[in-house]
Structure 1
Amino acid sequence: MTNLKSKWTSIVNRFSFQKNEGFLTALFYLLIALIMYGSLIQSVLPEKMDISLYSVAERDIASPVTIENKQATLQKQNEAAEAVEPEYTNKVETTQTQVEKVEDFFASIAKVNEVNASEEDDGAVEEKSLDEKLTELKEMLVSSAINELSDDTLQAFLTTSSTQLAISKDVIITSVKNVLNERITVEELNQAKDNVEEQIQKANLNSSVREPSIELARAVIIPNFFIDTEATKVKREKAIESVTPVMIRQGQIIVQEGQVINREALEQLEVVGLLDEHFNLYPLVGLAILVVVLTGFLAYFIQERGFTQLNRNRYNVMYLTIFSITIIVFKLVSLSAGLTSGIHYVLPAAMGTMLIKLLISERLALASALVFAVVGSILFNTDTVGIFNGEFGLYILVSSNAAIFLLGRHNHRSKILKTGLFVSLINIVAIIMIYMLRMGQFDWIDLGVYSGYAVISGFLSAVLTLGLMPFFEAAFRILSTMKLIELSNPNHPLLRKLLMEAPGTYHHSVMVANLAEAACEAVGANGLLARVGSYYHDVGKTKRPNFFIENQMNMENPHDKIAPLLSKKIIVAHAYDGADMLREHRLPKEIVDIAEQHHGTTLLKYFYHKANEQSEQPIPEEDYRYPGPRAQTKEAAIVGIADGVEAAVRSIPKPTPAKIESIVRKIINDRLEDGQFNESDLTFKELDTVAKTICETLQGIFHSRIEYPEDLKKKVTK
């Protein structure tokens, strides 16, 4: 197991130190996208069914999408168009035109008879025969619309007296007007002709002209209402537009279990794509777009963490590992979702977000919770007809966010287990909420079983988190909150050694820890890291505890008997001896760096001035400076400030707020002018905040006390 961890650590280190950082970052996001895409591709592909006409459905078949049945809609539109009555236009001039034709007809009769009468009076020409009159009349009627009358009718009018002709004319015109004043369409034409015939039959006409008059009247009756093509077309178009499309709704049962599949059902199955044998590229493209959006969403929260490039690569690999494990767990549980109803609620949905919160950051955990909810809603869509199972996605989101908010800043192992218990309770509440929103359509027994699954989910989330935490801490050399809390235990061998061999230094370290933690939290740095780093920052003094003033009780100062240069070497060595001791005990690099960097390259002023007093020539400052390196992080710089401030304030006989602030400001300004903060991220504003916070903390420690009567008596006696 140790060899495996060491190999994995070496792989991570090699990965972290690659030169092409842009390539590594792109590869990181590409792998996240590929993991999501590969796990979800099967869940988005449409289901294909082997169904034939007149076969029996083995189960209920519901539509996976909401789609228009275009064939049914077209049929409905055609029916609506056919049901539309044609629009007619009334030609008001028809009556007058037809009446004029009747008048022209009788005028022609009169003309033919009039010509013959005049010629007979002159005696110049013989009277024309009836056939000749008929021929002449037909020639006159050629241009008229009344040219379809029979010869018998024309002969009857030619042989009728002028009196009877006048009566016939009046009867015909009156009857035609009466009929043509009413609506007459092409379909109603025969009925109109019958009406005019009926009116003439009732008229007082000579029997010799009755039938000819009827024939003439029927001949001039024509339609006066005609179909308006454009208006009818517009009306039919409006009728088509008013037709509601025939929709097949998502979740609509097309075929019930045991039902014989008829042609209509087969057409509907084909419309919704369940019988489509062709490969559909659209779901894959849609999934690709979704994956790109989710990856970009994660990238925003991953990039906002201000890691150095080395740490960024390490954290990226760690996040990729957590993300992969979470998706694999999701996928495995989804494969067993069909075994029994509600088994998917066993999913340890909070595991991934708990690991991300504990090992990386809370904001990234919140972003990841949303991504896991979307991924889970697609993976567990077997019980739904759509692509997304919104109810289960909500369950994942609630469970994940509950774990994030319930985990505090300082998390012991027992706190993680308690969080798992509370997540179980919240899971139960989420399930009850979901099923209550279904209008009460649930079974209490099923709800009890699902609640049991929810409890298992919370428990598994906590257990898996506890089981995987040591792996990530060892493999990626991550200093988690839980690890820091373990290192702060006074029973740690190095802290026990410090307490037993250098009690003054131990007390000094505790005081520095209080100051550094408060200052770090005030500027947004890791206060817990500063506290634990302060506990160990002077552990190197245990090699020569008597050479440090806080451990010199009732004894002479050994530095008075040795050369300043040797004293400098002993004092300087404690930082690097401590770093070596911390490495031997395999403490995290962040703690080692604080021990090694908390003095930076500061000058040992006391021994430097002492050496100059004893030397005839000026001594370079470099000979009496710590070799460094300077503080690389805010935590290391603040621990260095707190270390110097605590030692300086402890030497003040009667500390007052003014004296404390003066010393704190002086130490910070001296280090600032000496360039000790140049390689850390501390700003001037943050340094001012650090100074104020340290002053407030020290004033709470060195507050003034009232003198009790016993103390006053002792003081007077003395």
Structure 2
Amino acid sequence: MSQKSNKKQTALNNRYIRLGLFLLLGVLLYVSTFNNVVPEQLDISLSEPAPQDIRSPITIEHEEQTAERRREAVATIDPVYTLQTHYATTQTDKVNAIFDLAITLQSEMEEESEEADEPPSTDEQVEYMQDALSENVDQSISSATIETLLTSSNQELRTARDVARNAIFEVMNDGISVDQVPTAREEAEERVSRSITSSRMQSAVSEITTSLVTANYIYDDEATNEQVELAVSEVDPVLIREGQLLAQEGEVIGPEAYEQMRLVGLLDDSTSLYPYIGLLIFVGLLLLLLQLYMMQTSAPIHNSNKYLLLYVIVFVVMLVIMNLQSLIIQFDLTGVMWLTPMALGPMLLAQLINYRVALFSATLFAITGSIIFSHAAASSFHSSFLIYAILSGFAGVFFIGKQPRISKVLQAGIFVALINGLAVTLLHMLNNQQVVFQTYGNEVSFAVLSGFLSAILSLGLLPFFETGFNILSKTKLIELTNANQPLLRKILLEAPGTYHHSVMVANLSEAASEAIGANGLLARVGAYYHDLGKTKNPMYFIENQMQIENPHDRLPPERSKQIIIDHPYDGAAILEKHNFPKEIVDIAKEHHGTTLLKFFYYKAKEQGKEPVESEYRYPGPRAQFKESAIIGIADSVEAAVRSMPNPTEEKIRNLVDAIIRDRLVDQQFNECDITLKELATVADSMCETLKGTFHSRIEYPDDEQGEVKENE
């Protein structure tokens, strides 16, 4: 199989491992929170005493009571009636139409009588007018009334019309409801009787008038419905609220309380899948957020399965601690929930992985904890614990900071204890709880102890993680800078020149790394140990040759180049033997990359040999990360500047630029992600550092001879 195929298969395997770790974390999350979402079922019957205080786990509407309240509200609404003022005009128009039709019909009958031999009979005239009234006026009156109208003079008809109109208009000028219609018709009939003396015409006009008097104060269905809708909308739904006390311990369960328990699901024997599906969605969302965050972070968890496994283990440690603590709560010890060391996970992650990862994870731990401790609340989430856990976790991360030290962990414990105590206090106040000093004192005491417990557990677990995963944490890096570290003392005692060179390289590398946003502390520690391999043959390296003959003068170039080429790998082997972090080992291997040993290569040529260039190159690998590349540059720069006579700022700048340019042309940076802009920044930083080290010399006059001597 080709090398390309091997790399592809390795990447595929890494993805499978990563997926497996995510699935493992998801399963553990689901299992650890499963019992906390199982709906609580009460074995209780009507008219029995409550075995404990029973509270609603959810907020739900009591639909039956809400409907009853709305029915009561609707019952208080009176029907809305509206005065239809135009009804009077409409009815008087009908009066006009009836009398006009009678006058017109009389006129037509007279003309027909003159022309026809036999005029229409009275019955025919009555029938004709009845048809006309039905068609044109939509009004029906008796035959006797029509006969009276047809046999009266025009003057009598006009007078009768005016009487009928006035009677109808005056009576209907006021509102007439349906039940008032008979009274109104009697009043209209009385008005007619006072105005018409002829009994025959009075009877006809009374019939017409009373038939046209109608109700004009009408029930308004639309307005009534609007009032009903408004009344219904103003009725608030009857809610059984989350945490509401349904029955006190020992209280006999009445029908209303029993119904409330049924509605909130406390009496439901059937199994609902909703909580389990909801928990599955919750775990999925948490893992999705974690994956999205990992895709965007520059922390090693982004692409390292080792660090992902470390993260999963820290998460599992927090899950175990929270679940154990939730069991302790069942012993009914007041405030013991606040003893949970929620700052532990974030503090560990801040030291082992990354400051930002720790802050993000503090939120995840808090959300998970709010579910695990939900049995201490009335709902599926313990909102007070969520706030407490976030404040506690953030406090631990913020105080440890981006440059964690062991001493800071203990200080962080004190700080977290203070924040925890304040968090419990503010939760008491926000929840408007009555302060019982014994209860409040217990809760604050447990919260304060939680801060110290987080610090103690962090200090206790940190070495196990660092050793087990060979993690290069900031704390571990700081420990490796200790001058009493055995390998550092080995360099100092066996190769003092190399030790001094390494310290100079460390200064250059740290400043340059920080200038481009890389890990300056890693660069410093890597520089301290990058030449550890020189302790195997210290005298064969020029910085250790003090007033002695150079051994290479007596060796053939083939032998000399092998001694020089071996030192990075000798150092890496020693570091691996002492279980040093991989990054430090890689720096030792990579700081020379695949550069050419020019001195011995050209020396071999001068001796008339035909050396193979590849044999005079370091085997590599080239620098794989920025800090390694910077240390390689600093190593060459320091050695070159140290051997430079009378270094000046301009000479140093030209030398630094030449070394970087030479490595760039030699493709030594092809396998790391350092950019040309960052290389320019590295050059500027190193020149600035070297300017302070090899500063201009100041001339002092000789007191006795007046001569000048140079002092550094």
Query: Shorter chain as normaliser: what TM range?
Result: 0.7 to 0.9
Asked whether the equivalents of residues 44 and 284 of structure 1 are also in contact (C-alpha less than 8 Å), the reply is: yes
Corresponding position of 1:231: 222
| Secondary structure of 1:319 counterpart | helix
TM-aligned CA deviation for residue 248 of structure 1: 0.8
Report if aligned partners of 1:43, 1:379 keep a CA contact under 8 Å in 2: yes
**Mapped contact 2:295–2:302 kept (Cα < 8 A):** no
Q: How do 1:132-211 and structure 2 match up within 5 A?
A: 183-188=175-180
Task: Report the alpha carbon displacement of residue 643 of structure 1 after superposing the two structures with TM.
Answer: 0.9
Q: Does structure 1 conserve the Cα–Cα contact (< 8 Å) formed by 2:186 and 2:210?
A: no
Deviation at 1:179, TM superposition (A): 7.1
Matched-pair contact (CA < 8 Å) for 1:184–1:222:
no
Q: Find the counterpart in structure 2 of residue 288 from structure 1.
A: 280
In the TM superposition, 1:292-691 aligns within 5 A as 292-306=284-298, 312-338=304-330, 339-439=332-432, 441-615=434-608, 617-691=609-683
Residue aligning to 2:199 = none
**Structure 2 CA distance for partners of 1:309 and 1:459, relative to 1, 3 Å:** closer
Residue 161 of structure 1: aligned partner:
none
Match of 2:22 in 1: 29
**Other-structure match for 1:244:** 235
Normalising to structure 2: TM-score of the pair?
0.80
Cα distance, 1:681 vs structure 2: 1.9
CA–CA separation in structure 2 for the residues paired with 1:575 and 1:259:
81
Report if the CA contact (8 A) 2:47-2:252 is conserved. yes
Aligned partners of 1:623, 1:685: CA distance in 2, in Å? Answer: 33
Alignment of 1:38 onto 2:25: no
Once the two structures are TM-superposed, the CA of residue 696 in structure 1 deviates from its matched residue by 0.8
Distance in 1, matches of 2:301 and 2:380, equals: 39
RMSD of aligned alpha carbons = 4.3
Distance 1:419 1:308 in 2: 24
User: In the aligned structure 1, how far is the partner of 2:395 from the partner of 2:450?
Assistant: 13
Deviates more, 1:177-186 or 1:382-391: 177-186
Decide whether the 8 Å contact of 1:398 with 1:430 is kept in 2. Answer: yes
Distance 2:433 2:33 in 1: 32
Question: Residues 411 and 481 of structure 1 are in contact (CA less than 8 Å); yes or no, is this contact kept in structure 2?
Answer: yes
CA contact (8 A) 2:334 2:442 kept: no
Whole-angstrom distance in 2 between the partners of 1:484 and 1:409: 13
Q: Which moved more, 1:542-551 or 1:345-354?
A: 542-551
Distance in 1 (CA, whole Å) between partners of 2:497 and 2:670 is 31
One-letter identity of the residue aligned with 2:244: I
Change (3 A) 1:270 1:245: farther
Superposed displacement of residue 43, structure 1: 2.6
Q: Distance in 1 between matches of 2:251 and 2:187?
A: 60
Question: Is residue 43–residue 387 contact of structure 1 (8 Å, CA) maintained in 2?
Answer: yes
Aligned equivalents of 2:593, 2:170: Cα separation in 1? 122
What is the DSSP-based 3-state SS (H/G/I as helix, E as strand, rest coil) of the residue aligned with 1:255? strand
Deviation at 1:191, TM superposition (A): 7.3
Give the gaps of 5 or more residues in structure 2.
Answer: 1-8, 100-129, 143-162, 195-202
Between stretches 280-289 and 534-543, larger displacement belongs to 280-289
Summarize the Cα distance change of 1:542–1:88 in structure 2 as closer, same or farther, 3 Å threshold.
closer
Unaligned runs of 5+ in 1: 1-15, 104-139, 148-170, 204-211
Contact 1:60 1:253 in 2 (8 A): no
Supply the distance in 1 between the matched residues of 2:227 and 2:259 (Cα, whole angstroms).
27
Higher relative contact order, structure no. (Cα contacts within 8 Å, ≥ 6 residues apart): 1
- Percent of residue pairs identical: 46
Q: In structure 2, which of residues 253, 265, 275 is the aligned counterpart of residue 261 of structure 1?
A: 253
**CA 1:440–1:712: 2 relative to 1, 3 Å:** farther
Give, in angstroms, the shift of residue 347 of structure 1.
Answer: 0.8
Name whichever of 687-696 and 268-277 sits farther off.
268-277
Deviation of the 1:535 alpha carbon: 1.3
> How many angstroms does 1:698 deviate by?
0.9
Kept in 2, the 8 Å contact 1:185–1:226? The answer is yes
Q: Which moved more, 1:43-52 or 1:577-586?
A: 43-52
Tell me which moved more, 458-467 or 64-73.
Answer: 64-73
Matches of 2:242 and 2:512, distance apart in 1: 59
TM-score normalised per structure 1: 0.79
User: Which letter does structure 2 place at the counterpart of 1:245?
Assistant: D
Closer/same/farther in 2, CA of residues 471 and 711 from structure 1, 3 Å limit: farther
Change (3 A) 1:330 1:714: farther
SS at match of 2:235: coil
Q: Of the candidates 665, 674, 697, which is equivalent to residue 689 of structure 2?
A: 697
| Conserved? CA contact 2:164–2:209, under 8 Å | no
DSSP 3-state at the match of 1:471: helix
- 1:84 — aligned with what? 78
Distance in 1 of aligned mates of 2:696 and 2:164: 134
Matching of residues 5-154 of structure 1 within 5 Å:
19-82=12-75, 83-87=77-81, 92=88
Shift in CA distance, 414/232, structure 1 to aligned 2, threshold 3 Å: closer
Counterpart CA distance in 2 for 1:638 and 1:216 is 118
Shift of 1:714: 8.4
Q: Distance in 2 between matches of 1:514 and 1:693?
A: 10
SS at match of 1:284: helix
Deviates more, 1:689-698 or 1:620-629: 620-629
Instruction: Give yes or no for contact 1:80–1:239 (8 Å, CA) kept in 2.
Output: no
Q: Secondary structure at the match of 2:375?
A: coil
What CA distance in whole angstroms lies between the structure 1 residues aligned with 2:174 and 2:663? 113
1:260-304 Cα shifts (integer Å, max 9, x gaps): 433333333333333333333333333333332222221122223
Kindly state the Cα deviation for residue 95 of structure 1 after the two structures are TM-superposed.
8.3
Output the CA distance in 1 between the equivalents of 2:186 and 2:333: 81
Write out per-residue CA displacement over residues 659-682 of structure 1, whole angstroms, 9 at most, x where no aligned residue. 111111111111111121122222
- For 1:670, the aligned partner's letter is D
- Residue 45 of structure 1: how far off its partner (Å): 3.8
Distance 1:623 1:224 in 2: 120
**Residues 216 and 669 from structure 1, CA distance in 2 versus in 1: closer, same or farther, beyond 3 angstroms?**
closer
Partner of 1:207: none
Matching residue's letter, 2:395: A
The letter of the residue matching 1:366 is: L
* Contact 1:424 1:458 (8 Å CA) reproduced: yes
Contact 2:594–2:621 under 8 Å retained in 1:
yes
